[in-house]
Amino acid sequence: MSLPPAAPPTALADDAPDFVVVDVETACSRISSICQIGIVGFRDGRELFAYETLIDPCDEFNGFNTRIHGIEAHHVAGQPVFGHVHSIIDGHLAGRTTVAHSSFDKGALAAACHVHACAPIETTWLDSVRVARRAWPDLPSHKLNILSRHLGLDHRHHDALSDARAAGWVVVKAIDHTGIPLADWLTPPPRPKARPAPKPAADGPLRGARIAILGASRDGPLAQAIAAAGGRVVASVGATTTMLVIGGDQTLGRYVRYDALYLKAEAARRGGQAIEIVEERALRESLARG
């Protein structure tokens, strides 16, 4: 059966973009299961072009994913498969600076290229989460929907084109806000020397616990609270780690579930290690109850 032609970009320009932004939605827990992709090009602080298409992931649809983005199997019936649009995606991204909000989209594209036997897409990646954290360090969260509200962006969360567009404007506004040019965002600033984790109290409800933190510093308020309750904050998940705390207002959503620290904790649990995974809010509520 012949495939339908892929939808063309909505507005291609002759002049090349300063950077492009990509966002994907997936059908299930396999990150190769791309069912929607959005790409937006930016030049001189304005949108240059936009491209969006649904994709038949050739995979199952999981209810968890569908509840996030609203895409179901019948929506992608007759849509192109990834291999059919690979050349379009590569044409927009290859050889350019490509922005994505977290490393999820980078990993999804790499996995889809592998599964569908397509050539890897060679591009220079820039994480807009890192950009946002550097530009607005005092925000309680740097999720895309939170940033969009803070910056006054019109944004439909978990729609690939809207997410790509919002992440692009995050970069544009970060450049305007800080005066740091695009090229300098590609080189992370030198990290300040890490301060040691706080010393655990002699007693408390977390006495004896060895706790790794995802999404917060090892010497910040969460670490201080853990130490005050007798817990020892450790640098990573190891054989003696008893808990992983998801810091800030992060929940066990798709971004956290693909984080290396979370995957390490899940692997330890499957191997029989007694390690608990909790969100900061739940831990603080437990400590407050004593």
Residues 6+ apart with CB under 8 A from 91: none
Could you tell me the two tokens for 257? 């579930």
Whether 5 maps to a domain, the answer reads no
Burial 162-179 (b: 16+ CB within 10 A, else e): bbbbbbbbbbbbbbeeee
- Residue 205 belongs to a domain: no
CB 171, CB 19: distance < 8 Å = yes
Together in a domain, 32 and 153: yes
Last residue of some domain: 119, 151, 185? Answer: 185
pLDDT at 126 over 80: yes
- The verdict on residue 192 lying in a domain is no
Which residues are CB-contacts of 197 (< 8 A; sequence separation ≥ 6)? 218, 219, 223, 227, 232, 233, 234, 235
The 10s digit of each residue's pLDDT in 144-157 is: 999 999 999 999 99
Listing DSSP states for 188-204 in one string gives PPPPPPPPPPPPPPSSS
Q: With bands split at pLDDT 50, 70 and 90, how would you rate the model's confidence at 248?
A: confident
User: Residue 11 above 70 pLDDT?
Assistant: no
C-alpha angle 272-237-284 in degrees, rounded to nearest 5: 95
Give tens-digit pLDDT for 63-109.
Answer: 999 999 999 999 999 999 999 999 999 999 999 999 999 999 999 99
12: in domain:
no
271: containing domain: 210-289
Whole-number pLDDT of residue 136: 96
pTM for this predicted structure: 0.66
The burial class, CB within 10 Å (0-12 / 13-18 / 19+), for 100 is: buried
Q: Do residue 35 and residue 174 come from a single domain? A: yes
**Cα(103)–Cα(123) distance, rounded to whole angstroms?**
13
Number of structural domains found in the chain = 2
What single DSSP character describes residue 49? E
In this prediction, residue 252 has a pLDDT band, given cuts at 50, 70 and 90, of low
Residues 150 and 77 in one domain: yes
Domain assignment present for 191: no
Phi, psi (rounded to 5 degrees) for 50 = -140, 140
Do 178 and 265 fall within a single domain? no
> What's the CATH code of the domain at 245?
3.40.50.10190
Q: State phi, psi for 56 to the nearest 5 degrees.
A: -75, 110
Strand order in the sheet with 210-214: 232-234, 210-214, 243-246, 276-279
In a domain, 47, yes or no: yes
| Dist CA 201 CA 197 (whole Å) | 12
How many percent of the chain have pLDDT more than 70? 92
